[in-house]
C-alpha cells in the first residue's frame, strides 16, 4: 500500500467506490480511511464541501469523484486512461458519468432508504467496526438524510411502482449498450463503466429486492464482475 496516497471514504458510497476503481485501473496503490459511525463527524474537516470522497495525493487534497478522476488522468496520462483521448468518445463517457452521478444515484438511494433490508445492510456496512450504540444512532440519521436528498431531487416524490419500472428500463438500456463491446463506450473500460458500475454494485450489495433484477441482465452481471 502507498501511504502517500490516501482515499478518505464512506465505504458504502458509490462515489468513493468509483474513485477506488479508478485508482485500481491506474495501478496506483493507496490506503483507505473509512469514516464509519461517529467517525463521520470528522468529514467536515476534510474539505470545504464537507463530503467524501477526498483523495490525498502528491501533497494535494482533492474532493469530488469526477474532479479526482480528471486529476488522475491529467497527472498520470501514461497510465491506463479513465477518459478516452478521442474527443467524441470522451464526450460520451462524460455524459454517462454525469448521468450516473446525478440521476442513477437517486434510484440507488431510493431503494436503500425505502427497503428495510437494504437500509439495515447499508447501516451495517457504514458502522462496521464501531460500537453497537452508534448503529442505533446512525440508522435514523442515515435514513432522514437520504430521504431528504431523494425527495428534494424528485425521485422520492414518484410512486413506488413508477420508480421501479423506470429503473428496470434503465437496466435494460445499460444491458443493451453493453451487448456490443462489453463496455459502455468504445472497446475499453472507462470512468463511465466505473461510475455506473459503482452505483449498481451498491444496489446488488444491499437490496434484496433489486439484486435479482440487476443480475438477471446477463451483460450487466458479467460486466460487474470485471469492475
For 140-153, what is the mean pLDDT?
90
CA dihedral of residues 205, 51, 193, 196 (deg, nearest 10) = 60
Domain with CATH 1.20.1050.10 in the chain: 87-226
Please report the pLDDT score of residue 18 as a whole number.
98
Instruction: From 178, 205, 194, 188, select the one nearest 15 (Cα to Cα).
Output: 194
For 81-86, what is the mean pLDDT?
98
pLDDT at 86 over 50: yes
pLDDT at 1 over 50: no
For 45-72, what is the mean pLDDT?
93
- Give me the DSSP letters along 67-82: HHHHHHHHH-TTSPPS
Domain with CATH 3.40.30.10 in the chain: 6-75
Matching residue, cell 462515489: 15
For 87-116, what is the mean pLDDT?
96
pLDDT band, very low/low/confident/very high, at 3 (cuts 50, 70, 90): low
Mode of pairing for the β-strands spanning 31-34 and 6-9: parallel
> What is the architecture of the domain spanning 6-75?
3-Layer(aba) Sandwich (3.40)
* pTM of the predicted protein model: 0.92
- Give me the DSSP letters along 96-119: HHHHIIIIIHHHHHHHHHH-HHHH
Indicate the CATH number of 87-226 among 3.30.470.20, 1.20.1050.10, 1.10.10.10, 3.40.50.300: 1.20.1050.10
Most confident of 2-6, 19-23, 137-141, 203-207: 19-23
pLDDT at 2 over 60: no
Amino acid at each position: 500500500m502507498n501511504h502517500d496516497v490516501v482515499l478518505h471514504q464512506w465505504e458504502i458510497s458509490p462515489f468513493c467506490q468509483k474513485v477506488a476503481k479508478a485508482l485500481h485501473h491506474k495501478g496506483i496503490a493507496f490506503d483507505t480511511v473509512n469514516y464509519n459511525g461517529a467517525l463521520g463527524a470528522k468529514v467536515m474537516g476534510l474539505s470545504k464541501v464537507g463530503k467524501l470522497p477526498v483523495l490525498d495525493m502528491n501533497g494535494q487534497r482533492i474532493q469530488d469523484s469526477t474532479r479526482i478522476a480528471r486529476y488522475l488522468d491529467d497527472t498520470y496520462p501514461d497510465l491506463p486512461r479513465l477518459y478516452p483521448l478521442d474527443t467524441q468518445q470522451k464526450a460520451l463517457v462524460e455524459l454517462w458519468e454525469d448521468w450516473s452521478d446525478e440521476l442513477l444515484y437517486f434510484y440507488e438511494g431510493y431503494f436503500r432508504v425505502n427497503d428495510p433490508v437494504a437500509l439495515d445492510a447499508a447501516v451495517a456496512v457504514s458502522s462496521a467496526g464501531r460500537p453497537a450504540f452508534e448503529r442505533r444512532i446512525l440508522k435514523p440519521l442515515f435514513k432522514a438524510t437520504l430521504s431528504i436528498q431523494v425527495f428534494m431531487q424528485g425521485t422520492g416524490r414518484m410512486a413506488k411502482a413508477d420508480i421501479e419500472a423506470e429503473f428496470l428500463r434503465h437496466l435494460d438500456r445499460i444491458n443493451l449498450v453493453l451487448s456490443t463491446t462489453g463496455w459502455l463506450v468504445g472497446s475499453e473500460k472507462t470512468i463511465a463503466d466505473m461510475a455506473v458500475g459503482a452505483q449498481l454494485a451498491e444496489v446488488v450489495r444491499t437490496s434484496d429486492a433489486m439484486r435479482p433484477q440487476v443480475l438477471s441482465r446477463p451483460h450487466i452481471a458479467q460486466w460487474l464482475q470485471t469492475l
